[in-house]
Amino acid sequence: MKYSSAAWSEKRKAGLTKYLFFDGILITGGPFAVVMQVVGYFFLRDEGQSFGQYFSASRTWVTFFFHATLFGLIIGFLNWRRNENAYLDSQNKA
């Protein structure tokens, strides 16, 4: 479990939606999207496109949003389930 039982008890009281937004999208999805945009600059940009042109293009920011949101929601939900199962197991053993 990523959190202690006491810390997870507090996190789970806030609910899945808040967990997915903060821990999923912002903490997990945000850095992933930044890395994907840097990788995209080196491998996916159009020929002759400068750094400034790539990062000012609307396509770049749309893909940034989708990377952060989709990856964050998926990984956030998987982490929620993993932490919830570990918490319930620790409660049943006690």
- How many whole angstroms separate alpha carbon 83 and alpha carbon 61? 32
Task: Report the distance separating Cα 5 and Cα 38, nearest Å.
Answer: 37
Query: What digits encode the pLDDT tens for the residues 45-81?
Result: 888 889 999 999 999 999 999 999 999 999 999 999 9
- Average pLDDT over every residue of 32-48: 91
Q: What distances in angstroms separate CA 7 from CA 10, 29, 40, one per listed residue?
A: 5, 22, 37
What is the structure's pLDDT at 87? 92
Closest CA to 79 of 29, 34, 33: 29
